[in-house]
Structure 1
Amino acid sequence: MYYVNPNIKSLYRTSYNESRKQFLRLDMNENPVGLPTEFFEKFIDNIRPEYVAMYPEMSPLIDKLARYLECQPSNICLTNGSDDAIRLLFQVFGEPGKKVVSVSPSFEMYSVYSNMYGLVHEPVTYDDDFQVNLDQVMNSIDHDTSIVVLLNPNSPIGTAWSETEVRAIIEKAQKNNAIVAIDEAYYYFSSSTFVHYVDKYDNVMLFRTFSKMLSIAGARIGYIYSNSHLIKEAKKASSTYAVNYFAVEIAETILDNPQIIEELMDKEREGREYLLAQLENHGYEYHFNNGNYLLIKTNKHPQYLFDELKRRKILIKVYNNPILSDWIRVTTANKEIMQIFWGSFKEVDHN
């Protein structure tokens, strides 16, 4: 038998193999509509075959991000989506045998990469009120901790971290020589950011992505923002060309047109507020924590709703986790999309 890394061999992974193209996709927190058509077509018209034949030039995008964040280009590492940023975090800074402290339930890839790179995942679980005990988080951070993960906001549940909490966690991690990764994949939907801690502490790495609000999940591009020392080490493990030409070009184009970002934010907000109003008016219990998603406690069983909505070509998210077994998660989008969802949801979930 050929050698297989035992951490990989024992790893359990799942994947969604069905095509989602013919569905209204409200299950993975993507923008189901995408970028404005006129804007996207203008971008495509500027693509030239000779540029596609070249390896991508990443410096112009890094420079734009540096100006946006008011930092140096040496503080930024482009990644193949946030997923790649998480991989670099574990590959470079994860000490095998030590702990990774995060909340649970949360983005599954933190647990996956913990196992893949031989670390011990120690999640602090939310209670039935979707609250996490800060003392539990603090007590989990000790000399055996390698990485602490803070998601701001956390998908699918949780309340926003406060400045006091984040500062305390970072300082406890710093005393124990642990890296703190602040995942802000949903930054554009949230009213808070902890970007300022990158300058204040030498153990903080901030992750962002173009996949959610910026609507190019298929392009796979994100970035790490941190101090130059940590970025230098992360880049050593990065692919030579971690992001492709199309991803770099469209990310640059979006940053050059901030009105597009404002338009995307306004449309999502309008749709979300419409859906929240409908849920309020019809007496639904729901949970919203400043991402582009809602948890809804349904009348019918979530799996029944999943099946019936899928039959109507609408995808939603359901969970096996006991805390979430009575809830569905729905991606929020513009008002037209939310009206379509609400019409079908109301029919399926009536008492």
Structure 2
Amino acid sequence: MTLFRECFRHLGQVERRRIPPTPREHMRLHRLERPEPWPSELVEAMRAGPPDNWYPDYAAFTRRLSDFLLLPQENLVVGAGIEDFIRSLILLCCDPGDGFAFTWPTCAMFDVYSEVFKARPVRIVTEPKRLLSVHDVTDKIDSGVRLLILPNPGQPVETYFCLAELRHIAERCANVGAVFAIDEAYLGFGAETALPLVDDFENVVILRTFSKAFGGAALRVGYAIGQPSVIRPLNAIRESGEIAGPSLHGATVLMDMWQSYVLPGIEDVCRGRDWLRDTLLAAEFDARGWYANHVLIGLGNRASTVATRLQERGVHVKANFPAPLDGHLLVTCGSVLLMQRFYQAFQGAL
């Protein structure tokens, strides 16, 4: 029996897996989230609302976000994390066989949605010991590519492009008629924003989240910024109630407490990241990480064994990457104290 449109009849063969749960008492340094709990004052503010069981006021949240960002509402659309927009952009941009370009390896959902929508994956391979150049990206963008999503900064390899370099990439995408989505999930930890490009390029859209710098991964709140010609289609296909009321309340609390709790939390992560990177480099390990909330450690053929030993000690890091990243561990960073605890466990696992 034929139940679905021809372009989706393959979905029964698409494999999706959940990441196994981590015991709460363990050190969660493998999910690129805030690894330490929020301060009690912030938690209490989140518990204070919403007070009823009605549908939330989505328009009020968008107004609050607009005020926080100092951007017009017509340039914003809210969604269920950045992943919501990844899926929507592939759906809007790519017919089966059209090119979808992205740095690789990175977010696993890029490959998943390429398979789901039958877009042709155009992988821009990142290597830990070689900086990705603008030409590495633009050389992949031809007339068959309809969408480029570029994490900036990236992970697990911390690729990073300055505004001038991003402008060059945006021009290349505009010339071939491709949408250029800049994934700024890790904005706040030291990277420059690409926001000025939105005024100059109709094909540029910036994707952001409350999961990383805000520390609200559990909320699943994200937003996109662009010209109305991009934002209106994204707004048109959103769900009528795209985010739960408690999540909107939590994100509002984070904006309200930006100066008092969120920004100091970001500064704690940056200090912890810098301490871990510099400590590893001083001990002559291959370590890198300057613009996001993670440090990549090169261990060669010891990486898998060290990751297993760390997990046995209740410390979880991201490992088992494909080549050319095999032999590396990715560590989500927290405060200096947490990174000191990690480093002690790391030394014991060597």
| TM-score of the aligned structures, taking structure 1 as reference length | 0.93
**Structure 1 contact 191–290 (Cα < 8 Å) conserved:** yes
Write the mapping of 1:187-226 to structure 2, written as runs, cut at 5 A. Answer: 187-226=187-226
Match of 1:64 in 2: 64
Aligned CA-pair RMSD:
1.8
User: In structure 1, how many angstroms separate the alpha carbons of the residues matched to 2:212 and 2:37?
Assistant: 10
Distance 1:113 1:177 in 2: 21
Q: Summarize the alignment of residues 172-183 of structure 1 with structure 2, pairs less than 5 Å apart.
A: 172-183=172-183
2:101 aligned counterpart, secondary structure: strand
Q: What does residue range 144-159 of structure 1 map to in structure 2 within 5 Å? A: 144-159=144-159
Q: Secondary structure of the equivalent of 1:324?
A: coil
Indicate if the aligned counterparts of 1:132 and 1:158 stay in contact, CA closer than 8 A. no
- The one-letter amino acid of 2:38's match is L
User: Aligned partner of 2:11: which letter?
Assistant: I
Structure-1 residue corresponding to 2:74? 74
Structure 1: 5+ residue stretches without partners = none
Contact 1:149–1:182 (CA under 8 A) maintained in structure 2: yes
Structure-2 residue corresponding to 1:97: 97
Question: How far off is 1:300 after superposition?
Answer: 6.3
| Residues 173, 179 of structure 1: 8 Å contact kept | yes
SS of structure 1 residue aligned to 2:296: strand
Question: Is contact 1:221–1:248 with CA below 8 Å preserved after alignment?
Answer: yes
Which of 23, 29, 32 pairs up with 1:29? 32
Count of residues paired in the alignment: 346
Change in CA separation of 1:14 and 1:289 when aligned onto 2, cut-off 3 Å: farther
Q: How big is each residue's C-alpha offset from its partner over 1:186-224, in whole Å with a ceiling of 9 and x where there is no partner?
A: 001133110111111100111000111211111111111
Alignment-derived partner of residue 169 in structure 2: 169
Residues 58-67 or 181-190, more deviating: 58-67
After TM superposition, the score normalised by the length of structure 2 is 0.93
Distance in 2 between residues matched to 1:289 and 1:113, nearest whole Å: 29
Paired letter, 1:45: A
Q: Which secondary structure state, in structure 2, belongs to the residue aligned with residue 155 of structure 1?
A: coil
Confirm or deny that 1:296 pairs with 2:297. Answer: yes
The answer on 1:348 being equivalent to 2:345 is no
Q: Distance in 2 between matches of 1:102 and 1:299?
A: 26
Higher mean C-alpha displacement, 17-26 vs 196-205: 17-26
Question: Residue 22 of structure 2 contacts residue 28 of structure 2 at CA under 8 Å; is this kept in 1?
Answer: no
Name 1:331's counterpart in structure 2. Answer: 332
Contact 2:300/2:326 (8 A) holds in 1? no
**Cα offsets for 1:97-134 (capped at 9, x unmatched):** 21012221221212221221121011121245232243
Structure 1 runs (4+) deviating above 4 angstroms are: none
**Contact conserved, 2:277 with 2:289, CA < 8 A, in 1?**
no
Provide the rounded CA distance (Å) in 2 between the counterparts of 1:75 and 1:87.
Answer: 19
State the Cα deviation string for residues 71-122 of structure 1 (Å, max 9, x = none). 2112111111111121111122323321012221221212221221121011
| Residue in 1 that maps onto 2:321 | 320
